[in-house]
Amino acid sequence: MKKQLSVLAFAGMVALGLASSNSAFAQKKNKKGTTTPATPATATPAAAKKEGIKPFSEVITAKARTTNGLFKTHKVDDKWYFEIPDSLVNREMLVVTRLAKAPVGVKVGNQQYGGEELNEQVWKWERRGKQVYIRVPSYATKADPNSDMYESVKNSNLDQILAGFDIKAYNKDTTGFVIDVTDFYNGDIMAIGATDQIRKAYKVIAYDATRSYIDTVKTFPINIEVKTEKTYKAAESPTDNSNAAVTFEFNTSMLLLPKTPVKARIMDSRVGFFGQSQLDYGTDAQKAERTAYIHRWNLVPKDTAAYMRGELVEPVKPIVIYIDPATPKKWVPYLIQGINDWQAGFEAAGFKNAIIGKQAPTPLEDPQFSVEDSRYSVVRYFASDIANAYGPHVSDPRTGQILETHIGWYHNVMNLLRNWYFVQTAAINPEVRKARFTDAQMGELIRFVSSHEIGHTLGLPHNFGSSYAYPVDSLRSKAFTDKHGTAPSIMDYARFNYIAQPGDGVTKLHPQIGEYDKWSIKWGYSWIPGNKTAEQEKEILNQWVLKNADNPLYFYGRQGTSLDPRLQSEDLGDNAMKASTYGIANLKRILPNVEKWTYQKGKDYSDLKEIYTEIVGQFNRYMGHVTTNVGGLSENFKTYDQAGPVYAYLPKTKQKEAITFFNQQLFTTPLWLISNDQLNKFDNGTLLNRIKAVQTNTLGNLLAAPRLARLLDNETKNGPAKAYTLPEMFTDLRSSVFAAGMADAFKRNLQRAYVDRLENLMTKESELPVGFPVESAASYGLTPVNVALSDIRPLVRAELKTLWATTKARSAAGDAITKAHYEDLNIRIKDILDPKK
């Protein structure tokens, strides 16, 4: 789901030991002349008075409301104070600032809903005399403390100072000090407030302290949660510009990191895990190497001897995830089951009862329990009309160890599930042919999404290549789908089985924890005995990968690239053309019955409109799945000890099959999408434009310069006999877009779009975003090309000349609109070819 998973980025990290020395200690010279820590610089009451620091009772008065936790927090009137013990000076703390609430209509991607992360830093509270500073260590570079590079890296990695505070008082036994954090948390500090993207989007002019305040400060044994309401004067508002401002609620969480970091596990691009990278100067390589570590919970077997004998063993500390007490009771068992489904994955790694879902305790059962306490991982239930769910996790930036998770579950995700399930399965699933699902039906869908989101909290990203492992026709088999579901990984966006046809008898319609999921958990979480280093473990894990390298069940495909047609969102099976043809056949069965199947007495036609629009959207989704096959490259990450290419173009026959699909299913007007008896119940003249948009947008995508560049690259490398060439694609498209015979309104619109796109290729030099790195662009399918200097423009010119002759001939015959259409196209083409005239 969304964003997810948009909320986890690869962060830098460095080794321990780069922190500045404990400034709460005075310094003295040892016999060798070097500086060593001396006795703690605690102050007696007399010394404190001399320093100008007030007695504790004068700062933290009898009116104070005090809470014990990581730090003691005190609220005196409108002031907030932290009482920081000496024992936590210079301890590293992970600080994450998230949106708690946002106004309607925000327009910054991944920064618009409650729960989305805005900033992550590590803080160290450092004391120097009467001052306290927040230092922000950088984890972008590292070197082993025993290496020759350690001092050099340390000297060029100074911890930045985020803020400074005066010590207001020492605590009663002088084992800590008090600072006033009111102005800090209530101030305009980007690290704990609006990001630069938000400020630019709303044209923020200034911070308005008069409309901002600290809402709550809650302290727990290992974390402190500060909630603030902040208002910014802005030229643009997502709601009402007359306010001249925009207000957000932020939550800043400060979590104590483990004193002793755990051993990290090195990432492998062939197995999907979230992670973080660092530039390592301490290796034996003759360059600075970038090393990445995966995100994972720290699981250690209770009985290591039994584990090594191959027995299933419980971990010392299992992963426990609680369900928010605010969750409707009827959905709690399904959310818990979605969590517990992952026990099968951990059994593959040698653990039993490694992950447990539980209902949160009541105040009577545990009065200290709080969903904001970082000791507890929780599924948070939001009463929101947002149709989404997300599964973030908080990890130690030094090692990748996952420390806790707060999964966001929005109430309206049920509407999203209902629409998907209806549109993708109603042709074969009579149980969903109704306006409202039963609680049992919706519960199973909630369980499915719960499992997916829990996967993210375990460190697993989307595996967009998983569903390609299953042959299309296997998804029409009841025996196969009963055993395997619709994909080897629940982390794919495989959704529901739109391929199975009436009469196939298929009833298992969504993914489950599959073969790939079990394999990835085994790879990431297996405990490897022998106190081996991360590099030594890497060699063992590499052998595991090589053993499964040629098995498509264990293939991992990254999200975000449009290069490889296997790596797509919401697709199924190993052939998009075949799968989409089956999907369209089912849509043709569903669409005429939408009004009947969504009927609700006394209600308007909003459900009919919603589902009808979803069907057009699903049809468009199939077009996207097929488009990627044209100019497509398979991407198989490999190491030197693996044979075969990493990148290979799709066979010519498969690319040509994709264009044939378009000519049959899209560029020949899909009149079946026009059901006037239903459209006249809700459509006021917009839906047919959506169908035209599907046609023109797909055509434009096919003729995008990066795709054409790959067609030329393929021909250069493999020759016209093996490569699907650009001239062949022009010929194949023209045969349908400009087919002989009467052109209806859809076809005329499509022909104009074709000429417009060719004009764009004749006049525009580059289609890459400004400032986008070339290598990154190519990696994600935006293949760089200078159109003016490539073979694209001469071939486009030749295509325009052919169309000029065609349109000139057709402008002489037909009805008035046909003549006008082709005469107009003919003039436009002539102007493109000879713009000076």
Q: pLDDT-based confidence at 492, cuts 50/70/90?
A: very high
The pLDDT of 275-299, averaged and rounded, is 71
Q: How far is CA 170 from CA 23, 132, 165, 167, in A?
A: 16, 12, 14, 8
pLDDT of residue 242: 72
Which residue do the tokens 């929101």 mark?
384
DSSP string, 557-612: --SS-SS-TTS-TT--SS-HHHHHHHHHHHHHHHGGGHHHHT--TT--SHHHHHHH
The pLDDT of residue 36? 36
Distances (CA, A) of 468 to 402, 475, 652, 749: 30, 11, 19, 34
Helix, strand and coil in the chain, % to nearest 5: 40, 20, 45
Angle between helices 726-737 and 652-665 (to 10 degrees): 20
Neighbours of 644 (CB within 10 A): 9
The answer to whether 415 touches 607, Cβ cutoff 8 Å, is no
Assess contact for 382 and 114: CB atoms under 8 A.
yes
Q: What residues have CB less than 8 Å from 472, skipping those under 6 apart?
A: 499, 572, 573, 574, 575, 578, 579, 582
Flag whether pLDDT at 312 surpasses 60.
yes
Q: What is the pLDDT of residues 431-453, one digit of tens each?
A: 999 999 999 999 999 999 999 99
Q: Is the pLDDT of residue 555 over 90?
A: yes
Q: What dihedral angle (degrees, nearest 10) is formed by the CA atoms of 159, 161, 166, 170?
A: -30
The whole-number pLDDT of residue 147 equals 54
- The yes-or-no verdict on residue 366 having pLDDT over 60 is yes
Whether residue 828 contacts residue 755, with contact meaning beta carbons closer than 8 Å, is answered with yes
Q: Which of 347-356, 698-707, 776-785, 800-809 has the lowest mean pLDDT?
A: 776-785
Report the 3 state secondary structure along 328-378: CHHHHHHHHHHHHCCHHHHHHCCECCCEEEEECCCCCCCCCCCCCCCCCEE
* pLDDT interval class at 51 (50, 70, 90): low
pLDDT the model gives residue 239? 67
Summarised one tens digit per residue, pLDDT across range 423-436 is 999 999 999 999 99
Q: What is the mean pLDDT of residues 79-90?
A: 96
* pLDDT recorded at residue 37: 37
pLDDT of 291: 81
CA angle 516, 110, 161 (to 5 degrees): 105
Q: pLDDT grade, residue 765 (50/70/90)?
A: confident
**Which of 369-383, 621-635, 770-784 comes out lowest in average pLDDT?**
770-784
Q: Which helix (H) or strand (E) holds 276?
A: strand 275-280
Q: What is the pLDDT of residue 32?
A: 37
pLDDT band, very low/low/confident/very high, at 5 (cuts 50, 70, 90):
very low
**Range in 42-56, 249-263, 451-465, 719-733 the model is least confident about:** 42-56
Mean residue pLDDT of the chain comes to 88
What does the pLDDT average to over 719-730?
97
Q: Parallel, antiparallel, or unpaired: how do β-strands 406-410 and 377-382 relate? A: parallel
CATH number of 305-554: 3.40.390
DSSP 245: E
DSSP collapsed to 3 states, 128-182: ECCEEEEEECCCCEECCCCCCCHHHHHHCCCCEEEEEEEEEEECCCCCEEEEECH
Number of other residues whose CB lies within 10 A of the CB of residue 289: 13
Determine the pLDDT at residue 117.
83
**What pLDDT score was predicted for residue 45?**
52
Q: Determine the pLDDT at residue 15.
A: 30
Paired sense of beta strands 377-382 and 319-323, if any: parallel
Torsion of CA 617, 621, 623, 627, to 10 degrees: 150
d(Cα 89, Cα 132) in Å, to the nearest integer?
A: 9
Here the tokens at position 616 are 């057009």
How far apart, in Å, are the Cα atoms of 225 and each of 4, 44, 68, 107, 383? 23, 32, 13, 26, 21
Nearest to 575 by CA among 665, 474, 491: 474
Reply yes or no on whether the pLDDT at 83 is more than 70: yes
Spatial distance between the Cα atoms of 818 and 262, rounded to a whole number of angstroms: 73
Paired with 391 in beta bridges are none
Q: Which residue has the higher pLDDT, 80 or 15?
A: 80
Tens of pLDDT, residue by residue over 781-827, are: 889 898 999 999 999 999 999 999 999 999 988 899 999 999 999 99
Give the residue extent of every domain in the chain: 17-256, 305-554, 703-837
For the CA atoms of 470, 475, 479, 483, the dihedral, rounded to the nearest 10 degrees, stands at 50
CB atoms within 10 A of CB 261: 18
Q: Name residue, tokens 């009541």.
A: 362
Q: Does residue 595 have a pLDDT over 50?
A: yes
pLDDT classification of 771: cutoffs 50, 70, 90: low
Phi-psi region of 495 (alpha: psi -120 to 50; beta: other; left: phi over 0): left
Interior CA angle at 309 toward 306 and 311, to 5°? Answer: 60
CA distance 311 to 270: 28
| pLDDT tier at 495, thresholds 50, 70, 90 | confident
> What distance in Å separates the CA atoms of residue 496 and residue 416, rounded to the nearest whole number?
13
Local structure of 382: helix, strand or coil: strand
Q: Are 500 and 476 in contact (CB under 8 A)?
A: yes
Q: What is the pLDDT of residue 112?
A: 67
DSSP-H helix ranges across 703-815: 705-718, 726-737, 745-763, 774-779, 792-810
Provide the pLDDT for residue 412.
Answer: 87
Q: What's the rounded mean pLDDT across residues 664-674?
A: 96
pLDDT digits (tens, 9 = 90+) for 131-178: 999 999 877 655 455 555 445 555 556 788 999 999 999 988 889 999
Poorest-pLDDT segment among 30-34, 81-85, 116-120, 154-158? 30-34
CA proximity to 316, closest of 303, 302, 304 = 302
Average pLDDT estimate for 285-313 = 86
Per-residue pLDDT, 703: 97
Quick one: pLDDT at residue 512?
92
Does residue 516 have a pLDDT over 80?
yes
Closest to 80 (Cα-Cα) out of 170, 181, 177: 181
Q: How many angstroms separate the Cα of 540 from the Cα of each of 280, 543, 553? A: 21, 5, 21
Average pLDDT over residues 527-551: 94
The string of DSSP codes covering 93-138 is EEEEEEEEE--TT--STTSSSTT-EEEEEEEEEEEETTEEEEEE--
High-pLDDT (> 90) share of the chain, %: 73
Q: Is the pLDDT of residue 217 over 60?
A: yes
